[in-house]
């Protein structure tokens, strides 16, 4: 059971509009162990977010299914917490209230008001945001917003944590800082995590496994790389670690040699052609 905690089986996604059908995901299959940290890497527009949304239930797969902890998922729910690149905090709620909305909804029946309050404070403490409880999202920095987003997700005690380029909009220093925090939290909580990223270093540093996706349309899993680096990991030490650099090379080779040369598929509509080109452009 724990070895097959999350099962993604033959997931296909076709976006159907009036004229064109875009086949984004083609037979994506993956099995994730409980407590595993997985990174999904691939060029922009290949379908990473679409895959994550299918797992979260925000979109339904055209074909195939997702099973989490023995149950098929069809609708979104608090057992699969999401953190987006754009943080999606509610701007009219304070830092505390944003987390409280989730905690009160998820634990309203199971915990007393005092327990919930402590739990909210505990999670905000964990991401180092105790000093800004009454601030509104507009009053804190991008990195802080992302911390609150992570606290909100962790506070739901999800079975699965879904991160969609969580640090993508942050500057390099803030990003490194948050990566450290995520590693620290992960060593405490041992969550099952699926994280989308386009940062090779981030993927190697954080993950137990890296899932590399081929270019769209009809994107699928190209290669899966096990990262056997000891934890806790230290980015400075790793920089001179031959094994670490070998992993990096493997991912870079996949992204820039194997995937760059894929020709656009012939039958695709004009929309997919343009996204293909856009993906190449952004990847460079």
Ligand X SMILES: Nc1ncnc2c1ncn2[C@@H]1O[C@H](COP(=O)(O)OP(=O)(O)O)[C@@H](O)[C@H]1O
Encoding tokens for residue 260? Answer: 């760059």
Task: Please identify which residue in 35, 64, 78, 168 interacts with other proteins, judged by CB under 8 A.
Answer: 78
By CB under 6 A, name the binding residues for ligand X: 15, 22, 24, 42, 44-50, 216, 275
Using CB under 8 A, which of the segments 43-51, 99-107, 184-192, 215-223 binds other proteins? 99-107
Q: How far is the CB of 84 from ligand X (least distance, A)?
A: 11
**Which of 16, 27, 60, 92 is close enough to bind other proteins by CB under 8 A?**
92
Q: Which residue has the tokens 């804190």?
A: 140
Q: In whole angstroms, how close is the CB of 158 to ligand X at the nearest point?
A: 20
88 binds other proteins (CB under 8 A): yes
CB of 58 to other proteins, least distance (A): 6
In the shown chain, the binding pattern of residues 124 to 143 toward other proteins, with x for contact by CB under 8 A and - for none, equals ------xx-xx-x-x-----
Residues of this chain that interact with Mg ion (CB under 5 A) are 49
Under the binding rule (CB under 8 A), the answer on residue 275 touching other proteins is no
Q: Does 102 bind other proteins (CB under 8 A)?
A: yes
Whichever of 105 and 282 has its CB closer to other proteins, that residue is 105
CB of 253 to ligand X, least distance (A): 19
Task: Mark the segment that binds other proteins (CB under 8 A) among 27-35, 90-98, 235-243, 251-259.
Answer: 90-98
Picked from ligand X, other proteins, Mg ion, none, the partner binding residue 207 (CB below 5 to 8 A depending on kind) is none
Strands 160-164 and 80-83: parallel
């Amino acid at each position: 059971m724990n070895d097959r905690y999350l099962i993604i089986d033959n997931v296909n996604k076709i976006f159907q509009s009036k004229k064109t059908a875009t086949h984004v995901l083609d037979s994506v299959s993956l099995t994730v162990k409980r407590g595993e940290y997985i990174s999904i890497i691939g060029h922009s527009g290949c379908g990473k977010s679409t895959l994550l949304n299918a797992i979260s239930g925000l979109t339904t797969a055209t074909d195939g299914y997702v099973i989490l902890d023995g149950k098929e998922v069809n609708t979104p729910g608090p057992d699969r917490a999401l953190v987006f690149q754009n943080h999606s905090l509610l701007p009219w709620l304070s830092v505390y209230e944003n987390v409280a909305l989730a905690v009160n909804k998820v634990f309203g029946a199971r915990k007393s008001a005092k327990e919930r309050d402590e739990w909210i404070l505990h999670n905000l403490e964990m991401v180092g945001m105790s000093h800004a409880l009454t601030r509104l999202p507009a009053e804190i920095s991008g990195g802080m917003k992302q911390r609150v987003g992570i606290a909100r997700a962790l506070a739901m005690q999800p079975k699965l944590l879904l991160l969609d380029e969580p640090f993508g909009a942050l500057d390099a220093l803030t990003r490194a800082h948050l990566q450290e925090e995520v590693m620290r939290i992960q060593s405490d909580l041992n969550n099952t995590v699926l994280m989308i990223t386009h940062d090779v270093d981030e993927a190697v540093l954080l993950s137990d496994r890296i899932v590399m996706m081929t270019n769209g349309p009809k994107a699928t899993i190209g290669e899966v790389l096990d990262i056997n680096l000891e934890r806790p990991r230290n980015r400075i030490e790793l920089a001179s670690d031959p094994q670490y650099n070998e992993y990096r090379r493997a991912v870079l080779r996949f992204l820039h040699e194997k995937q760059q040369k894929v020709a656009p598929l012939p039958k695709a509509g004009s929309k997919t052609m343009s996204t293909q080109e856009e993906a190449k452009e952004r990847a460079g």
